[in-house]
Every structure is written in structure tokens, then in C-alpha cells.
Structure 1
Amino acid sequence: MLYPLEDMKPFSSLLILATLFFFGCGEKEQEATNPKIPAKSEARPVVAPEPEPTPEPEPTPEPEPTPEPEPTPEPEPTPEPEPTPEPEPTPEPEPTPEPEPQDSSFSQEEVEEALKVALEVGEALELGEDGLYYEKGQEDAFEGWVKQVSSDGKLSALERMENGKKNGRALVWHRNGQRSMQGVYRDNNYEGTWKGWHENGELVGERNYANGVLHGNFTQSWPNGQTMMEGNYVDGNQDGDWETYYENGQRQSAVRYEGGKILGASYWSSNGETVASRPDGSPSGPLR
């Protein structure tokens, strides 16, 4: 059966491709079956490769210097123990203050009121064997105001008593009725400042006492008011500088005492002339 030429074109193409494929595969099989033997080449000596130069060893690094050990810090000095504080001294007990002396002054009204209730010593009061005053017929020591009357019936003293002793203010009169002394008693002893007056009413002076003993300033005046003497007592002894004066005001003596003993003295007459003194400090002649 004949096919038109145009219908044969695709078939021819397929036939050509199949033929080429067949011949190509046959050559490959032949080459695989009969491999070509290469021609012998001239033998060449085998040259051993030069050994690579041994690399110089790297220099051993110098060891790092061992660091010097840090100096051991010196131990801090042991602090000295603080001194034990001395115990505070036990304060000495303060001396018990002596009671302040009472005011010895009396107003005339106070005197009159006290005299109204005062008992008379010897008439209503008697001194017991224990040294205390008792109201007659009573067992308890007397407490209250007492008065003393002279033989001619004149009032001579007014005193306060407690526990059968003179304790408190006291007032003494001259026979003419002028006040003579006033002060304070403590357990029958003079205490504190006592004042005195002349019969004409001029101040005699002031004396100070402690437990019945002269202690402190001492002043005394003449009846005309001029100073007679002035000085100081310590435990009943003249102490320090003392001066005495005549009634006309002229200085009579200047004496320094210590514990009642004369350390030095100067004397004058009433007209101002110097009077010598003896080794014991007394004047060599009368002072007039």
C-alpha cells in the first residue's frame, strides 16, 4: 500500500532516529569489549620529593616571672585597753546645816502678850534633878513662856522654854526698865547674835555665839556711842586683828591674835602718844 509522500514524512523521521540510536550503542559496546592498549612510554626515574625542611621549633617562651608575693600586711597593733575609769569618789555627805537662829527681836506688843501667860520661875516652876524645869505638880517638862522677877518685884527677864530648857527668844531688862540684852537660847546656851544696850538706851554692841561660845564678830561701844572695841572670835578665842578706842575716840591699841595668843601689838595713850609693849605683847604701862 502506497502512502502519499506527505504521509511518510513523520515515519521517515522516526526511522532515522532509530538507526542513529542503534549504531551509537554498537560503538559503545565495541569500545567496552576491545579497549585500546596504550603505547609503552619510556620509563622515567622516580625522583623522591625533597623533604620539606623541618621547621625550626618555635622558641620556648620564657616563663613569665613569678610575681613577688604581696607583702603580708603587718597585723594592726592590738589597741591598748582603755583604762578602767576610776570610780567617782563617793561624795562626802553634806554637813547637816545648823538651824538658822531665830529672829531675837521683840515688839512691845509681843512682850505684853507673852507676859500674860508666862509663869514665874521659883513660884510656879522648879528645877528638877535632871536639870529640866517642871511646873509644880506636873511630871512633864515645861514648855511655854517664863519670867523672872527681882526681889523688889521688877521684871528682869522673859524667856521661852521647850522640853524644860531655855529654847527660843529671850529678853533681859535693866533695873530702870530699859532693855539690856536680847537674843536666842538653844538648850540653855546662847546661840547666834545677841544685842545689848546701855541703861541710857545706846547700843552696847553685838556678840555672836555658837553652842554657847563666842564665835564671830564682836563689837562694843561706849555709852556715848563711840566704839570701844571690835574684833573677831573663833571658838571662844580672840583671832585676827582687834582694835580698842578711848571714849574720846582716840585709838588705844591694835593687836593681832591667833588662837587667843598675841602675835604683835601697838599701844597709844589717850592723847596719841605711843606706849611701848612688852615681849609678851602687853603694854608696858597703863593706858590712859
Structure 2
Amino acid sequence: MKKTIPLALFLLSFSGLSQAATVDYLQSRNGVAYQVNQEKPFSGTYVQKYENGQKAIDVTFKEGKENGVATEWYASGEKRGEAHYLDGKTNGLMTKWYENGQKSFETTYKNDMKNGVTTEWYRNGQKSEEATFKKGKENGVSTEWYVNGQKREVANFTNGKNSDGVMTGWYENGKKALEVTFKDGQEVSRQYWTVDAA
């Protein structure tokens, strides 16, 4: 699976935005949010807007830590992302969308670690990847697809490492491209097929 950056890591990082609404600006001191020239950690709602006035970010803080729902929007007004936080850590569902409204990513977090099924989609709505995580590590079947819906790769994982068995890959036309055999998390053999020979 491709690594996906949690919503918290790109909040407050937009360019071309105007700080406005509940607070003008927040500072981070050792991972805790404060208003400028304030010694008490910030509690309340932080809102950023695009220059066109459209809301870009809405985050609720409690004692300097994100708590509750954090939401992002595109300048067009379409929702871009939504995540749930508890005491500054990602907990619960995280969802992202393309600007056309199509869902692009969805997973569940527990204490900042992926925990459950993670799914990604192409802009056309076709699923691109799906895997299951436990405490931040892949466990179970991981599947990737081409944009045309054809399977690209299927692998099995245990605690973030390839499980004993075979990982299989296919060409976009559906013909087999490779097989990789794993034992104790290590690759032991690999076989390729050309498009014509598959």
C-alpha cells in the first residue's frame, strides 16, 4: 500500500489562504497549539479560509490538542478531507475526496495508527488499493487494481511482512506478470512472464 499522510500532518500548511474566523493564528510549541502571546494551550475552533472566502480548514482544539472532527475543503467548496481526533491523535474514520466529489481514500485510525480496512480509489471511482491494518501494520490480503478494474497485484501480509506463500502480479490486459514466493518474510524465488508468453 502507498503510505498516506494523516490529515493532521498537512493541516495548517496551505498556501494562498487567509487566517480568519475563530482565531487569527496558532503557534505550535512542542506539539501543543497556542494563540500568539498566550501561555495557556488553545481551546476552541481554528478556521482558515481561501482568498475567495471559502472555508479551507475547520479544526477543534482542546487544551492545545486536536479533538473532534477536522475538516478540509477545496477552494470550490467541495470537501477535501475529514478526520477524527482525540487528544491530538487520529482516532476513528479518515476520509479524503477528489475535487469531483469522488472518494479517494478511507481508513480507520486508532491512536495515530491505521487499524482496519484501508481503501483507495482512482478519480473514476474504480478501486485502486485495499488492505487491512492492525496497529499500523498490514495484516491479511492486500490487493491492487489498474484503473480499468483489472487486478494488478495480490499479496498476503503478517505484521507488516509478506506472509509465507505467493505474491502474484498481472499485466493490465489480465495476463500474469510475475509470482514471488516468500518464506519467513523473505523472498525465496521469483518468476516473470512476458506479455506475449503469459
- Whether these two folds match at TM > 0.5 is yes
Tell me which of 102, 107, 132 is aligned to 2:32: 132
Do the aligned residues in 1 keep the contact of 2:73 with 2:79 (CA within 8 Å)?
yes
Aligned residues: 169
Residue 216 of structure 1 corresponds to 116
TM-score of the superposition, structure 1-length normalised? 0.52
Do the aligned residues in 1 keep the contact of 2:54 with 2:76 (CA within 8 Å)?
no
TM-score of the superposition, structure 2-length normalised? 0.74
Kindly provide the CA deviation profile for residues 266-285 of structure 1, in whole angstroms up to 9, marking residues without a partner as x.
11111011012345388858
**Residue correspondence of structure 1 range 128-277 to structure 2 within 5 A:** 128=29, 130-149=30-49, 155-263=55-163, 264-277=166-179
The one-letter code matched in structure 1 to 2:28 is L
Hey, what's the Cα distance between the residues in 2 that align with 1:286 and 1:230?
26
Do the aligned residues in 1 keep the contact of 2:93 with 2:108 (CA within 8 Å)?
yes
Hey, what's the Cα distance between the residues in 2 that align with 1:191 and 1:211?
6
Hey, what's the Cα distance between the residues in 1 that align with 2:120 and 2:194?
21
Hey, what's the Cα distance between the residues in 2 that align with 1:117 and 1:260?
43
Alpha-carbon shift at residue 212 of structure 1 (Å): 0.6
The structure-2 alpha-carbon separation of the partners of 1:179 and 1:276, relative to structure 1 and needing over 3 Å to count, comes to same
The percentage of aligned residue pairs carrying the same residue is 25
Unpaired runs of 5+ residues, structure 1, are 1-114
Kindly provide the CA deviation profile for residues 192-211 of structure 1, in whole angstroms up to 9, marking residues without a partner as x.
11111111110113111111
Kindly provide the CA deviation profile for residues 118-149 of structure 1, in whole angstroms up to 9, marking residues without a partner as x.
2133xxx3233x43222234332211000234
Compute the RMSD of aligned alpha carbons: 2.9
Hey, what's the Cα distance between the residues in 2 that align with 1:283 and 1:205?
32
Please identify which structure carries the higher helix content.
1
Unpaired runs of 5+ residues, structure 2, are 1-18, 182-186
Alpha-carbon shift at residue 153 of structure 1 (Å): 7.3
Kindly provide the CA deviation profile for residues 156-195 of structure 1, in whole angstroms up to 9, marking residues without a partner as x.
3110000011111100123443211102112322111111
Alpha-carbon shift at residue 239 of structure 1 (Å): 0.8
Hey, what's the Cα distance between the residues in 1 that align with 2:149 and 2:194?
18
Hey, what's the Cα distance between the residues in 1 that align with 2:194 and 2:52?
40
Of structures 1 and 2, the larger Rg is shown by 1
Please identify which structure carries the higher strand content.
2
Hey, what's the Cα distance between the residues in 1 that align with 2:92 and 2:117?
11
Hey, what's the Cα distance between the residues in 1 that align with 2:58 and 2:190?
40
Hey, what's the Cα distance between the residues in 2 that align with 1:234 and 1:260?
9
Higher relative contact order (CA 8 A, sep 6+): 2
